[in-house]
Amino acid sequence: MRDPEHILLVRLSSVGDIILTTPTAALLRMRYPRARITWLVDTGYLDLVRHNPHIDNALEFDYTGRHRGLLGIRKLADELGPVDLFVDLQHKVRSLMLSATLHPVERRVLVKRRGFGIIKALIGRDAILGVPHQVDRYIQVLCEETLGDVPEGTPPPVMIADDSEQEKAARMLRGDDCIGIVVGARHLTKTWPVRHTAALADRCRQAGYRVVLLGGPGDCVLVGAVVSSMKTEPAHVLPDGTLGQLAGSLSRCRAVVSPDSGPAHMAGALGVPVVAVFGPTSPDRWAPKGPRVKVIRLDLPCAPCSNHGGASCPVDTLECLNELGPEKVWEGLVDLLSS
């Protein structure tokens, strides 16, 4: 294939996966510096890639609105125009339908599962994923004869917070001594216990740091429980808002402590030091990438037990997080801040 004029990169969701896709965008830019690169994301995720330096345009797939159904996908194809290289890192029905509608010159598709693995996934018995890291797995989609090998020096994940959101956060947080603590995670089994989160927040306050409790939609109750369990008071509580607002707040933190969740990946990509608390999932596969990332976990025979977390612990103890106390995480945070 001749060098493409228009490349469409499809990674629609979720927060962590989109962030971990940014090195693929960087590699595409390195390979094809003259190409126009468009990134397609689901509605609500545009802030993650809006200022990505490796792409020319970002577009939302409004699959519940104007892009709903086959007619909506045709409308989206018209908005995109001709595509030479279609890089599908989502591999869902919607992305496959879009590819069939666009008729790109060349496709690259991430095949997540094959054969019996599909059946095991449907019944909730996926094989536990380890190496390679998800960043490398995405990049490997491009590493075929047509595109060449992965060059040395491929950039790490990157995110750039909007200037206006950074300015708002700077006015609100007033200083650079804030420790951001992410309270929730998408799955219950990845959420660090409230008592540990509150104890760590108190420890940070006692050491002279101000604490910002961070969360997303649906975390208000959890944030309230942490505040109620604290012996001190947090400097700020930001339980909701857009991803752009969250990025602005993360960028102003001296360091961030987070479970295996999207904000951990955002912080790493923003260049903020991150202490990532891992329980049921594999850090070899899913750890945030960044210049200063430290993973804290317990070495247990039952962990990792899940690829993405779930509603309950398979052995009903959640020992991997219940026994991972605040002092161990505090020690990791001190080590990261002093390194």
Domain-wise residue ranges, the chain = 6-140, 163-338
Q: Distances in Å between the alpha carbon of 155 and those of 41, 42, 148, 260, 339?
A: 21, 24, 17, 22, 22
Same fold, 6-140 and 163-338: yes
CA dist 332 and 335 (Å) reads: 5
- Which value, to the nearest 10 degrees, does the dihedral of the CA atoms of residues 326, 332, 336, 337 take? 40
Residue 105, Cβ neighbours under 10 Å: how many? 15
Q: What is the pLDDT of residues 283-318, one digit of tens each?
A: 999 999 998 999 999 999 999 999 989 889 999 999
Q: In what order do the strands lie in the sheet with 178-182?
A: 236-238, 210-214, 178-182, 255-259, 274-277, 293-296
| Full-model pTM | 0.94
- pLDDT bracket for residue 172 (50, 70, 90): very high
Q: Architecture of 163-338 per CATH?
A: 3-Layer(aba) Sandwich (3.40)
CA dist 3 and 140 (Å) reads: 19
Q: What is the pLDDT of residues 245-268, one digit of tens each?
A: 999 999 999 999 999 999 999 999
Instruction: Write the class of the CATH domain 6-140.
Output: alpha beta
